[in-house]
């Protein structure tokens, strides 16, 4: 069981389906890393344009509202950059086209760590079925990270945009239950996580705060921390190789 209490990447990117997914999931971790000096980027596959159930609401208006909320949430957590790919909310698919768009973002930002959802998660507790967009975003993200982003001759047309291959060092997968192997303490950023979540005014109300604390405390149970976010961590590059190459894979075997 790894406790990555002290590990801070130089840069991190989160790839998700909707505005608020990062805040419900991994914003405490990203805020912690941003606070320690990491560059942080959010990539949103959709802009949540069917996610506001108010009479008279249009997709265009909802997109505008939710992108503004997401930008505010990113600012609260210290993320410097938010990218919206504007795929259709509710209809997201892990196409090759989406994979290429994500490869472009990875090669551009060159993150040390990428945080993604669990593409295999369908059932989540007994009161929720995981949203198909979450699965699609997670699958597209995983397939973009490895091996695509690191293969110079795959999507080689991106070189015309000045983008060369990049292999992230680690992937943090947001998993539940027995698959968890890493707990990140968010003791110092739980309030930031809540504030970021509350930036999504069209989605949540103040009463979410105690529940977020309950969930994070439940996750941290038995660990040397009060609040946690949990992951399965896949290390694609050894410490030694990372120091040597920093994700630059061109010319390597």
Hey, which residues between 20 and 49 contact Zn ion (CB under 5 A)?
A: 21
Close Cβ partners of 250 (under 8 Å, ≥ 6 residues apart): 152, 164, 165
- Residue closer to Zn ion (CB basis): 21 or 69: 21
- Residue 44 beta carbon to Zn ion: minimum distance, rounded to whole angstroms: 10
The CB density around residue 244, as the number of other CB atoms within 10 Å, is: 11
Query: Under a CB-based contact definition with an 8 Å cutoff, are residues 98 and 87 in contact?
Result: yes
Q: What is the CA radius of gyration of the chain?
A: 18
Here's the x/- map for Zn ion, 3-22, by CB under 5 A: it reads as: ---------------x--x-
- Residue closer to Zn ion (CB basis): 18 or 110: 18
The torsion defined by the Cα of 82, 85, 91 and 94, in degrees rounded to 10, comes to -100
In the complex, residue closest to Zn ion by CB? 18
200 is a contact residue toward Zn ion (CB under 5 A):
no
- Residue closer to Zn ion (CB basis): 18 or 169: 18
Query: Under a CB-based contact definition with an 8 Å cutoff, are residues 8 and 109 in contact?
Result: no
Here's the x/- map for Zn ion, 156-175, by CB under 5 A: it reads as: --------------------
Interacting residues with Zn ion (CB under 5 A): 18, 21
């Amino acid at each position: 069981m790894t406790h990555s209490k002290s590990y801070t990447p130089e840069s991190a990117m989160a790839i998700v389906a909707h505005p608020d997914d990062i805040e419900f999931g991994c914003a405490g971790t990203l805020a912690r890393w941003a606070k320690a000096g990491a560059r942080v980027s959010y990539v949103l596959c959709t802009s949540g344009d069917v996610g506001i159930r108010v009479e008279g609401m249009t997709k265009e208006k909802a997109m505008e509202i939710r992108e503004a909320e997401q930008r505010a949430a990113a600012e609260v957590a210290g993320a410097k950059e938010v990218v919206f790919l504007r795929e259709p909310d509710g209809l997201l698919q892990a196409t090759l086209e989406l994979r290429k768009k994500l490869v472009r973002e990875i090669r551009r930002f060159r993150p040390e760590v990428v945080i993604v959802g669990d593409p295999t998660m369908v059932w989540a507790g007994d009161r929720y079925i995981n949203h198909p967009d979450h699965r699609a975003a997670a699958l597209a993200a995983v397939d973009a990270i490895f091996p695509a982003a690191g293969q110079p001759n795959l999507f080689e047309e991106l070189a015309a945009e000045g983008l060369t291959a990049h292999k992230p060092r680690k992937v943090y997968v947001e998993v539940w239950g027995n698959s968890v192997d890493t707990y990140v303490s968010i003791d110092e950023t739980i309030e930031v996580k809540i504030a970021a979540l509350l930036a999504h005014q069209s989605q949540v109300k103040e009463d979410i705060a105690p529940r977020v604390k309950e969930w994070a405390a439940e996750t941290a149970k038995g660990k040397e921390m009060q609040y946690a976010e949990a992951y399965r961590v896949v290390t694609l590059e050894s410490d030694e190789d990372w120091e040597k190459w920093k994700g630059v894979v061109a010319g390597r075997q």
